[in-house]
């Protein structure tokens, strides 16, 4: 929270500028104008930007700065959200036969995008996952946990606890992505347990598991499928007993073909959140932004129609065919519908599929201030004693932003100067009104 110690004397309004506010990437941070609470509008990525430099500003109601701009540095602390990655798919090494225990076979390396300096999130630890063949001994090789000097199949893990279950999955060389077919098989002997394993699932697709009750292989999707990306999966399934064979026997295999059915998908706005900066005095009919969507169902040749979904002030119109957004009414930065000079609207993109599908996109309009509001003096009604009149101090405010506010000057018109005098106070945000000529008791208008 940003707080000025001048808020006891006058009402303070706060704003922020700089990286993440009004400089790219814009809109990451916002500040509540009156309370000074800073907020983040979207998740941060330390691997993309690890530090933001901003400035906070405090102004009075008339827009006059009451504090020097204060630098704010937001440091993004690291979370363990990146798994280690090997630098190669396959590492190949060699060792002379008869080599003594401890002989170096090869060096494997893995990297982690997380922070390895201030945290353990990016520190990589190595371990051997398996060995093929397992003869003459299943542990013929070792690996240095810290350096990766080893032989055999290797597992690379972050040394820090994973930040969420999905990040706990480590990369296993050569084996990653090879599981995933499905079939049903039965053993000849009573009580015989079968294990099903599959191949051909690189790039995602169905996954397989053995039902312990029925001894059948159950095929499920491991992740969402996309008809436009891949229409068919060909899977290869092998079945073995849970108990090892007493003699060497060939493994039974089968091929499973999975056809993906097409369904109508909603159009997708690109980008999903469109930003535009426009003066608040643009005339009706002026183009403000272009918001277009793409239909994932390219083969269906569907037409997209654009509509305004949520426009609380009723300021916008969108061309139904090309997505051009125009002003249908006068914009106003000072409107209660604009928050921190930003107006948010929701646009719709509907296709003509069966059934129709509708996608949504957000338009954020940053309204640039123009000098469209004059200064206002309060209070509007005052009482003055005609025998011993006291000066009346009026507070002057302007709803515009600097430089469209002060300094102010006070003038009297329509004959008011015959009986009254007005002058601007030293701080520039008040006007002192004095009665300089006697008046009969009555109600007067001062201009």
How does pLDDT run across 22-71, given as a tens digit for each residue? 999 999 999 999 899 999 999 998 888 989 999 999 999 888 898 899 99
Q: How far apart are CA 84 and CA 414, in angstroms?
A: 79
**Are both 247 and 275 inside the same structural domain?**
no
* Distance separating alpha carbons of residues 72 and 359, to the nearest angstrom: 38
- 157: which strand partners? 125
Residues 277 and 354 reside in one and the same domain: yes
Residue that terminates a domain, selected from 222, 237, 259? 259
Q: Give 158-172 pLDDT, tens digit per residue.
A: 444 443 322 222 222
Number of domains composing the chain:
5
Q: What are phi and psi of 236, to 5 degrees?
A: -115, 125
Q: Look at residue 187 and tell me if it is in a domain.
A: no
Q: Which residues contact 31 (CB under 8 A, 6 or more apart)?
A: 2, 14, 15, 16, 37, 38, 39, 56, 340
Q: Is residue 185 part of a domain?
A: no
Pairwise CA distance, residues 169 & 401, whole Å? 52
Domain assignment of residue 121, yes or no: yes
Asked if 68 and 18 sit in the same domain, the reply is: yes
Alpha-helix residue ranges (DSSP H) falling in 71-133: none
| Cβ-contact 397, 405 below 8 angstroms | no
Percent of the chain scored above 70 by pLDDT?
84
Q: Range of 54's domain?
A: 5-75
Contact of 111 with 119, CB cutoff 8 Å: no
What CATH number has the domain bearing residue 28? 2.60.40.60
Q: Which of 324, 348, 368 is the last residue of a domain?
A: 368
Residue 182 has pLDDT above 60, yes or no: no
Q: Which of 224, 241, 259 is the last residue of a domain?
A: 259
**Per-residue pLDDT tens digits for 226-263:** 777 787 877 777 777 666 766 677 777 777 777 777 77
Q: Write out the H or E segment, with its range, that includes residue 150.
A: strand 149-150
What's the CA gap between 64 and 401, in Å, rounded?
A: 9
**pLDDT tens by residue, 349-407:** 999 888 889 999 999 999 988 877 778 788 888 888 877 888 888 887 777 777 777 77
> What's the pLDDT at 155?
44
The verdict on 362 and 280 lying in the same domain is yes
In-domain check, residue 96: no
One domain for residues 286 and 354: yes
User: Between the CA of residue 343 and those of 105, 331, 404, what are the distances in Å?
Assistant: 63, 9, 20
Is 26 domain-assigned?
yes
Q: Kindly state whether residues 170 and 203 are assigned to the same domain.
A: no
Side-chain half-sphere exposure of 248, counting CA atoms within 13 A: 0
Domain contains 441: no
Measure CA 362 to chain center: 13
């Amino acid at each position: 929270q940003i707080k000025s110690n001048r808020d006891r004397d006058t009402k303070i309004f706060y704003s922020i500028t700089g990286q993440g506010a009004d400089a790219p990437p814009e809109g990451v941070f916002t500040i509540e104008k009156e309370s000074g609470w800073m907020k983040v509008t979207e998740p941060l990525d330390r691997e993309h930007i690890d530090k933001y430099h901003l400035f906070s500003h405090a102004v009075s109601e008339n827009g006059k700065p009451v504090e020097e701009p204060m630098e704010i540095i937001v440091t993004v602390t690291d979370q363990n959200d990146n798994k280690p990655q090997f630098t190669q798919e396959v590492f190949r090494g060699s060792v002379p036969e008869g080599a003594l225990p401890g002989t170096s076979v090869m060096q494997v390396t893995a990297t982690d995008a997380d922070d390895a300096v201030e945290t353990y999130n990016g520190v990589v630890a190595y371990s051997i996952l398996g060995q093929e063949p397992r003869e003459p001994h299943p542990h013929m090789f070792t690996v240095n946990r810290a350096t990766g000097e080893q032989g055999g199949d290797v597992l690379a893990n972050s040394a820090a606890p994973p930040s969420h279950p999905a990040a706990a999955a480590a990369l296993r060389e050569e084996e990653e992505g090879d599981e995933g077919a499905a079939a049903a098989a039965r053993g000849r002997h009573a009580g015989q347990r079968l294990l099903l394993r599959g191949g051909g699932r690189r790039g995602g697709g169905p996954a397989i598991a053995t039902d312990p009750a029925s001894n059948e292989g159950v095929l499920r999707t491991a992740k969402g499928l996309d008809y436009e990306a891949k229409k068919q999966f060909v899977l290869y399934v092998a079945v073995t007993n849970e108990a090892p064979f007493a003699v060497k026997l060939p493994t039974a295999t089968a091929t499973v073909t999975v056809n993906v059915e097409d369904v109508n998908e909603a159009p997708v706005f690109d980008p999903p959140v469109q930003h535009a900066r426009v003066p608040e005095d643009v005339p009706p009919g002026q183009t403000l932004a272009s918001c277009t969507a793409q239909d994932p169902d390219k083969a269906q040749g569907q037409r997209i129609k654009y509509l305004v979904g949520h426009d609380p002030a009723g300021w916008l119109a969108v061309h139904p065919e090309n997505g051009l957004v125009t002003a249908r009414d006068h914009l106003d930065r000072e409107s209660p519908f604009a928050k921190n000079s930003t107006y948010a609207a929701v646009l719709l993109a509907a296709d003509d599929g069966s059934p129709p599908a509708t996608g949504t996109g957000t338009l954020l309009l940053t309204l640039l201030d123009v000098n469209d509001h004059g200064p206002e003096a309060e209070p509007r009604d005052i009482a003055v004693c005609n025998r011993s009149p006291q000066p009346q101090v009026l507070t002057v405010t302007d709803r515009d932003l600097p430089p469209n506010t002060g300094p102010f000057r006070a003038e009297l018109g329509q004959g008011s100067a015959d009986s009254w005098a007005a002058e601007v106070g030293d701080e520039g945000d008040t006007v002192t009104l004095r009665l300089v000529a006697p008046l009969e008791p009555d109600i007067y208008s001062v201009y």
